[in-house]
Structure 1
């Protein structure tokens, strides 16, 4: 944290006229690096973007027992990656900001080596939702490991979260990472998405600390389930680029017409399989209403170092331009804590508008929901 050794702070780039009343409270001005950790034969530092701090960090020196090692700083979208070719449990960082001694976290890549890893960032999602999300991707896609970053949940502690994950059958590895950093001010409307550093930093951290040797990984949220003809992990592994991106659509709570989902507080993923009917383009191509943004699976070893894992796509790599015609996701509107906006409402069933999502329903029926 900057406050541990300097008076300097990160300054926002968003104009004051576009800042909400709580912008300052939500903005992460103090975190220099989320973590400093061993990755291969180097140490890696990941954090929010440097912004106004960049000139003071351009002469960063990483020192071990008096010996200085050069570092490479790569500015990315809403995050930064700094790498130095050194291996040690403690380092001293010397820059225009000042001097600070840091403990280097151990690499976690052995935990997930060779595994098909499901990973995400979560806060206060119900434990049974997290378990169902894992079970679905285990039984439909062959996920055998879970990496879950907890962004400061208050509904339970990390031990309860880890225990809930551990009782899900079929997992060969799992880890819960405390990620208590400010999520950041959101965008939308005339407000740019320029200050939500937390999730971008999580993706960069997961990639280099835990997932470098994973067989393949899938990034999707607790309320998102992937649909396809088989394992999306296998599809990524056998693809030309080593990656699969998939578009998707929202599924809403629908009541009536013999469909009666439970109240949101007792709902599970398996309760939602009613979709809006697609409209046909040119009489042949279905166009689904309520489209949502993409998610992806990738083989980390085949992803170029220059590329960035982002929430909905890759940057710096043309794999972002190849959405799969075979895989898609269902974004379940009611599976949410309403942290951003209210999502507990339901629609009235209309036979002219709604239908059973048969492909998704078959995937739901394939899950051992209590195993």
Structure 2
């Protein structure tokens, strides 16, 4: 088996110097109930990633939402390899994007900011490894390596995935090389990448109003990775490690997303692991409640056309209310309750409700994982 293309990648980032007293501050309307949680709020990162696109002749930078940094950026002087440039600013709900015209790939982006000189290297976009591939995408931290392998293997077999890009958000249980090795052990993958993302996720709790507005990283990375690596992919499935997407016919979600609309949304339900003496795996998740709780939809999108060119969000496309997006009945997501390191809430505990076997799902899981 030929080794999959790709590898381990870093971001080019910069934070606000301590000598500058301005801080990002909170988005309008956010209310804090527990100040201790604010240690997880990213108040200082200025740029997450900076790279050059030869086809677009642009240096592109992705930022957490600027908020109180807006005036600093407006007054800053930007240069690429000491040649002054002016940014085009695109503002989105949870991130901002700067682009700078330049005909050739520069080495550095320089920012003169409130008396401070900041310099960061300009990386190169790397789209060819993922061109025309059916790609899984997620951001994760410290999920069991066997879970990551099972998740990738399942979607190769069930949905025809041919590539995986994982943003690793500072895992401490293993290295990015370990993640890459696991992905390269999955038969059928032609391209794999692990991107180091050493930034704060945002407060997991402690906010009582507009909590989601304080978590910039997930959505910013999703769009930055599309721009830097995945914009030529056939289609991309936005899929967490605890999620399995089943098809009801022969058409895969990648096939559906590759059609002119460029997008397909899919609903799901929670399933729970059957009791076992061995470590829990996806294949164990065939127990259900009498009235299974539904999950917010996820989606597969084609980055190069149709709706897939819009801004990607966690559960839909940012400019469109997800209630307006039709959900395909050709697919179903199984959300595996016990595939989690419980970083947000304890998901090892039982619900207290009666669980019964979903025999059809059990048979399907065993069929796929034992193939």
Does the alignment reach a TM-score above 0.5?
Answer: yes
Equivalent-residue separation in structure 2 for 1:205 and 1:344 (angstroms): 33
In terms of mean alpha carbon deviation, does 295-304 or 92-101 score higher?
92-101
Q: Does 1:142 align with 2:160?
A: yes
Q: Does 1:50 align with 2:63?
A: no
Equivalent-residue separation in structure 2 for 1:26 and 1:251 (angstroms): 30
> How much does 1:228 deviate?
1.7
Output aligned runs, 1:101-116, within 5 Å. 101-116=119-134
> How much does 1:70 deviate?
2.5
Equivalent-residue separation in structure 2 for 1:324 and 1:16 (angstroms): 34
- Contact 2:149–2:183, Cα closer than 8 Å, also in 1: yes
Output aligned runs, 1:341-352, within 5 Å. 341-346=345-350, 350=354
**Any gaps of 5 or more consecutive residues in structure 1?**
255-259, 279-288
> How much does 1:136 deviate?
0.5
Equivalent-residue separation in structure 1 for 2:51 and 2:67 (angstroms): 22
Q: Does 1:183 align with 2:183?
A: no
Q: 1:304 to 1:58 in 2, by over 3 A?
A: farther
> How much does 1:318 deviate?
7.2
- Contact 1:93–1:101, Cα closer than 8 Å, also in 2: yes
Residue 243 of structure 1 is matched in structure 2 by 263
SS in 2 for 1:346: coil
Correspondent of 1:324 among 323, 328, 349: 328
**Any gaps of 5 or more consecutive residues in structure 2?**
1-14
Residue 208 of structure 1 is matched in structure 2 by 227
Equivalent-residue separation in structure 2 for 1:88 and 1:330 (angstroms): 45
> How much does 1:164 deviate?
1.4
Task: Report the TM-score when normalising by structure 2.
Answer: 0.86
- Contact 1:57–1:97, Cα closer than 8 Å, also in 2: no
Q: 1:367 to 1:219 in 2, by over 3 A?
A: same
Equivalent-residue separation in structure 2 for 1:217 and 1:97 (angstroms): 42
Residue 18 of structure 1 is matched in structure 2 by 32
- Contact 1:253–1:346, Cα closer than 8 Å, also in 2: no
Residue 96 of structure 2 is matched in structure 1 by 80
Q: 1:362 to 1:73 in 2, by over 3 A?
A: farther
Residue 130 of structure 1 is matched in structure 2 by 148
Correspondent of 1:222 among 236, 241, 254: 241
Residue 337 of structure 1 is matched in structure 2 by 341
| CA root-mean-square deviation | 2.5
Q: 1:355 to 1:318 in 2, by over 3 A?
A: same
Q: 1:346 to 1:147 in 2, by over 3 A?
A: same
Output aligned runs, 1:293-332, within 5 Å. 293-303=296-306, 307-317=310-320, 321-332=325-336
SS in 2 for 1:200: helix
Q: 1:253 to 1:215 in 2, by over 3 A?
A: same
Q: Does 1:32 align with 2:35?
A: no
- Any idea what the Cα deviations from partners look like across 1:120-169, whole Å, max 9, x if unmatched? 00100000000000010000001011100111111111111211111111
- Contact 2:166–2:195, Cα closer than 8 Å, also in 1: yes
Q: How many residues align?
A: 349
Task: Report the TM-score when normalising by structure 1.
Answer: 0.86
